[in-house]
Structure 1
Amino acid sequence: MTENVNKTEELIPSVDKTTDEVAWDLYRKAIRFGTWDPAAIDLSQDKRDYEALDEDLKGYLIHFCTGFLDAEENVALKFCPWIMLGSSTEQQAFLSTQLLEEFKHTEFFMRYFKEVIGRERIPSVKNAVQQKLDERVKKMLAALDQGEEEREEALVEGLTHYQGIIEGVQAMTGYDVFQAVYGSKGLFPGLGEGYARIKEDEGRHVGFGLRMLKLFARKPEHAKRILALYEEYLPLILIRYDQPVVVDGKEYPTPPEVKGRERVTKMFERRLKDILGTSVTV
């Protein structure tokens, strides 16, 4: 496996370098380490595992992978304003790698549904934080024609919403859930490899976003807004795991290993500590 940038203690790049230096370093890492091919991952064992899988776990896998596919595709189609609000060539260069990577992640899950699950995704997985990206994009695009202060405020909110919450809390929780439910049982090695590759990519995204938010939070008005967004979105984050698992009109049980509310809350608190330097009880 390539260089691991996802350990908790290594997630946020050093604040000793300038933001542009960090952005360029991460851009170069994306060039060197982010060129994996979603079409090259071997899914042959995953097909056999799926055919032999208990029906309840099949239902949960369809629900779980639908959530990831919807999220990856949604942001891939909407991420350009984050790039456009970057304040330098270096920052825009790094953020542009994220756009490509989101499309690669989308391709992987589209392939997984076609070749392993053998069906389309389901339409009923709710992710209210993702749904709010439409409104977020409009605000970020409007800020492009405003002054520096408004652009900075829009970027802070955008980084909080996407890198801080969607990737930093929701996606990171999802990797742990996959490992607990399937990976720990030796199931779906291809999906496990896909998640490992995606997690590497998103380690760069989240690390950069959290570092920027940590610096922005030195201004009290930004710290207050970051905290307010996290607290506003917490009930929406929890919807992802509180909702029933329904596939084609049939409800399936949530595996006991999921522990979604517990995992989300723990990750939520950790991210606020990463950014604001203090624990926030929720």
Structure 2
Amino acid sequence: MTQNWHQNMNENVTEELIPSLDKSTDEVAWDLYRKAIRFGTWDPAAIDLTQDKVDFESLDEDLKGYLIHFCTGFLDAEENVALKFCPWIMLGSSTEQQAFLSTQLLDEFKHTEFFLRYFKEVLGRERIPGVKNIVQQKLDERVKKMLAALEQSEEEREAVLVEGLTHYQGIIEGVQAMSGYDVFEAVFGSKGLFPGLKEGFSRIKEDEGRHVGFGLRMLKLFARNPEHAKRIRALYDEYLPHILVRYDQPVIVDGREYPTPPEVKGRERLIKMFERRLKDIFGTPVSV
């Protein structure tokens, strides 16, 4: 990694997550599109995983099991949305918005590639079946609604887009994924383990910072409409139990149950991030 890359990364991540409301949405979308070109063109194949292989081989069996479970959740999620994200782009209301959203589709495939590589080169196995992520599974139904909306009125298209932004950028990325980065840092990163995975998460978090920032900004504006605000809050409340399943479920790998590391604190992290996102959108602290 070069010094310039570090400088660019620091410039990027120290900016406020939600872009300013001083510019129009199209101006913000174009700025983020340009930022994605400048900062988002990292190569998943270029990250050095040499030390990660050593770390995994020396890890105790309980933490090996947890890491396989944890990475499976991320791989499943990244791949799922990569295959389903096109309707979000199609519902963009301008060339500028569609341009930015198109960078998110590429990002999701990069993230998928990184985790596929991680399983092959570091974990030395396939992902495991059965890791529950109900909010991700609900994207199948969401995609059908968004595609159907393409043939509907502008008002109906907007209502469906509000739900799509809430579901994906607001909840899946804005709450679930962001909490996951904190879990990795608490369990592994803070102990100096898995520097390649840490770099991958850093890169992915940069990408998703753009996605989440744009989505939350849109939701903040849409929430000025009482009907949209009501639906945004209803979706957050509806999906909260499904989000919590991500860390409430047992960790089972190849038929054996492994303990959840005490540093995870998944439920606590998710609820804290959930409340933070509601505050981002509605402007006042909201408790669940």
* Interval of TM-score (by shorter of Structure 1 and Structure 2): over 0.9
CA RMSD for the aligned pairs?
Answer: 0.8
1:272 aligned partner: 278
* CA-CA distance at 1:3 after TM superposition: 4.0
1:186 aligns with 2:212: no
- Structure 2 CA distance for aligned equivalents of residues 236 and 165 of structure 1: 11
Q: Conserved in 2, the CA contact under 8 Å of 1:5 and 1:11?
A: no
Tell me which amino acid in the other structure corresponds to 1:277: G
Does 2:36 correspond to 1:30? yes
Contact residue 4 and residue 200 of structure 1 kept, 8 A: no
Q: Tell me the distance in 2 between the aligned counterparts of 1:211 and 1:110.
A: 31
Q: Which residue of 2 aligns with 1:50?
A: 56
**Structure 2 length normalisation: TM-score?**
0.96
Contact 1:5 1:204 in 2 (8 A): no
Q: Is 1:131 the counterpart of 2:137 in the alignment?
A: yes
Stretches of structure 2 that go unaligned for 5 or more consecutive residues are 1-5
- Pairwise CA distance, 1:75: 0.1
Q: What are the residue-to-residue correspondences of 1:109-120 with 2, within 5 Å?
A: 109-120=115-126
Alignment size in residue pairs? 281
**Using a 3 Å threshold, how does the CA distance of structure 1 residues 168 and 193 change in structure 2: closer, same or farther?**
same
Q: Distance in 1 between matches of 2:30 and 2:57?
A: 45
Q: Which residue of 1 aligns with 2:263?
A: 257
Query: In the alignment, residue 186 of structure 1 is paired with which amino acid?
Result: G
Partner of 1:240: 246
Give the Cα separation in 1 of the matches to 2:240 and 2:64. 28
Aligned to 2:91: 85
Report the counterpart of residue 94 of structure 1 in structure 2.
100
**Match among 100, 106, 109 for residue 103 of structure 1:** 109
For each residue in 1:6-39, what CA deviation from the matched residue of structure 2 results, as whole angstroms up to 9, or x when unmatched?
Answer: 45x7000000000000000000000000000000
Amino acid of the residue matched to residue 130 of structure 2? S
Query: How many percent identity over aligned positions?
Result: 86
**Where does structure 1 differ by over 6 angstroms across 4 or more consecutive aligned residues?**
none
Looking at structure 2, the residues matched to 6 and 270 of structure 1 have their Cα atoms a distance apart, in angstroms, of 18
- Preserved contact between residue 217 and residue 276 of structure 1 (Cα < 8 Å): yes
Return the alpha-carbon distance in structure 2 between the equivalents of residues 12 and 184 of structure 1: 27
Q: Which runs of 5+ in 1 are unaligned?
A: none
1:141 aligned onto 2:128: no
CA contact (8 A) 1:20 1:88 kept: yes
* Structure 1 residue 14 corresponds to structure 2 residue 20: yes
Q: Could you tell me how far apart the structure 2 residues matched to 1:94 and 1:153 are? A: 20
- Deviation string for 1:96-125 (max 9, x for gaps)? 000000000000000000000000000111
Secondary structure of the 2:99 match is helix
**SS of structure 2 residue aligned to 1:251:** strand
- Letter of the 1:224 counterpart: K
CA distance in 1, matches of 2:88, 2:32: 16
Whether the 8 Å CA contact 1:167–1:206 is kept in 2: the answer is: yes
Distance in 2, matches of 1:172 and 1:149, equals 31
Q: 1:5, 1:203 within 8 Å by CA — same for their partners in 2?
A: no
How far apart, CA to CA, are the structure 2 residues paired with 1:22 and 1:84? 18
Structure 1 counterpart SS, 2:257 = strand
**TM-score normalised according to structure 1 size:** 0.98
